[in-house]
Amino acid sequence: MIRPVFSCLSLRPRHYSRLRASLLPPFQPSLADRRQTQDRVAKKCDPLRILFCGSDEFSCAALEALDTERMRNPFLIQSIDVVVRPGKGTGRGYKVIQHPPIRDLAKRLLLPIHERDTFTGWKMPESINLIIAVSFGLFVPPRLLRAAKYGGLNVHPSLLPDFRGPAPLHHTILHQWNSTGVTLQTLDDKAFDHGIVLEQTPLESPVPRGITVKGLQDLLTPLAVNMLVQGLRDGLHVPPLQDRGRVGEPAAPLASPHAPKITPRDRQFLLRPASSTYPLEPTVNHSEVLLRQQIIGPLWFKAKDKKGDLKRIIVVSASGRRPPKLDHSTPRPEQIVIHGEDQQGHSFIQRVDVYSETGDGSIWIPGWSGMGVALETLKIEGQRAKPAKQVLAQLKLYETPREL
């Protein structure tokens, strides 16, 4: 019986890296890589002993590419240690611990793992000479950056300075920008996403309409991985550092928008009052609502039930729709009083017209330019999802004048 080649892994896992390297072809830059570096001379550096800090699928792709490069080109990358955030409790009673994907990948690659939720009091391995953070979320302190000979690097999925912050993919889509890309920058010792831009790779085609965050991430991931590995090959991290950012060039029609963390407040059905006066306009920006439902949903709003108790109503499904056929036999529209909080933290209420006689169990809310939002399925928090018309029947409503 012939034993599979990788059967030794279960017996001698310490030999996995050696075996894997022996099966890979010797390091040889591709023709595309050679053409890309014709205009620059690769700077020499010591073999890299990397401390990699990551969390999600985007950082997993970067770590796997670095580990593959370590096997192919050990003169460039000698070792990789991985810092991961501790797992968090999920489910009923928070008893099930869910670990970030980077932890499972590091274990599969047999890389040393350091589980940290803070760098305070932590002593980094003395051999580390470069720190790489990708989608990590924990600020790397100056003392660690100073201790590493080559400081730190970060891969950011936007063309900085556009969309600095923890949610660049979400905000690129929410702002409906047509262009984006990836940036390789140094880790700044004072703030996130303010390092020296060492390289940028734009997305060659426009951002597709209707794309999801996962879809945009999938488009940018190979660009980010190739830029990171090629940047190390070229020694972009070796002093003197060269700023290759778009100095003096406007990034886009709007100047450098920020990409703050998505919070529960951002998932409100109405983000802000429609005007500064009260009563407020009874229409919604249907395109904005539907885009946010797609990208960061499910959206929600608060309204009082018939007992006067304030309830959170979750939008399970919604669509854009023109108004239902209205005539003098159509019941008058009613109003939901929505309670919310704007981006400055100020509470507001807004009366929103609703039409419930649409024939399919949904309710229709007027929007701009003749379009509107059809709320198809709603859910009172703590209850099961139901057709929106059934949920509407449980809420306190106000009759509005006929407008036909």
pLDDT tens for residues 97-149? 788 999 999 999 999 999 999 999 999 999 999 999 999 989 999 999 999 99
The answer to the question of residue 344 being in a domain is yes
Do 50 and 150 touch, CB atoms closer than 8 A? no
Say if residue 228 is in the same domain as residue 270.
Answer: no
The answer to the question of residue 253 being in a domain is no
Supply the pLDDT for residue 346.
82
Say if residue 227 is in the same domain as residue 271.
Answer: no
Say if residue 128 is in the same domain as residue 184.
Answer: yes
Say if residue 321 is in the same domain as residue 183.
Answer: no
Instruction: Report the C-alpha gap between 136 and 132 in whole angstroms.
Output: 10
Count of residues making up the chain: 404
Say if residue 41 is in the same domain as residue 113.
Answer: yes
CA 60 to chain centre: 14
pLDDT band at 38 (very low <50, low <70, confident <90, very high): very low
Supply the pLDDT for residue 397.
86
Say if residue 54 is in the same domain as residue 174.
Answer: yes
The answer to the question of residue 362 being in a domain is yes
Mean pLDDT calculated for residue range 179-203: 96
324-347 pLDDT, tens digit per residue, is: 766 666 667 788 889 988 777 788
Do 269 and 301 touch, CB atoms closer than 8 A? yes
Supply the pLDDT for residue 105.
97
Do 232 and 69 touch, CB atoms closer than 8 A? yes
Residue of 303 and 271 predicted with greater confidence: 303
pTM of the prediction? Answer: 0.83
Supply the pLDDT for residue 15.
44
Instruction: Report the C-alpha gap between 297 and 299 in whole angstroms.
Output: 5
Lowest mean pLDDT, pick from 16-20, 79-83, 284-288 = 16-20
Instruction: Report the C-alpha gap between 73 and 292 in whole angstroms.
Output: 44
Instruction: Report the C-alpha gap between 329 and 327 in whole angstroms.
Output: 5
Say if residue 228 is in the same domain as residue 282.
Answer: no
The answer to the question of residue 158 being in a domain is yes
Say if residue 325 is in the same domain as residue 198.
Answer: no
The answer to the question of residue 242 being in a domain is no
Say if residue 92 is in the same domain as residue 143.
Answer: yes
- The amino acid present at 112, given as its one-letter code, is P
Say if residue 211 is in the same domain as residue 277.
Answer: no
Angle of helix 101-108 versus helix 57-72 axis, rounded to 10: 20
Supply the pLDDT for residue 275.
46
Supply the pLDDT for residue 371.
83
Supply the pLDDT for residue 27.
46
Average pLDDT value for the chain: 84
Cβ–Cβ contacts within 10 Å for residue 215, how many? 14
Task: Output the CA–CA distances (angstroms, integers) from residue 291 to 126, 204, 268, 339, in the order listed.
Answer: 48, 24, 13, 21
Residue of 341 and 272 predicted with greater confidence: 341
Supply the pLDDT for residue 35.
40
Residue of 32 and 376 predicted with greater confidence: 376
Domain that holds residue 367: 264-399
The answer to the question of residue 47 being in a domain is yes
Q: Count the domains in the chain.
A: 2
Task: Output the CA–CA distances (angstroms, integers) from residue 302 to 264, 334, 380, in the order listed.
Answer: 13, 16, 9
Instruction: Report the C-alpha gap between 243 and 288 in whole angstroms.
Output: 37
Give yes or no for residue 280 having a pLDDT over 50: no
SS3 50: strand
Say if residue 226 is in the same domain as residue 278.
Answer: no
Q: Which of 191, 217, 233 is the last residue of a domain?
A: 233
pLDDT band at 26 (very low <50, low <70, confident <90, very high): very low
Supply the pLDDT for residue 100.
92
Give yes or no for residue 402 having a pLDDT over 90: no
SS3 221: helix
The answer to the question of residue 246 being in a domain is no
The answer to the question of residue 173 being in a domain is yes
CATH number at residue 216: 3.40.50.170
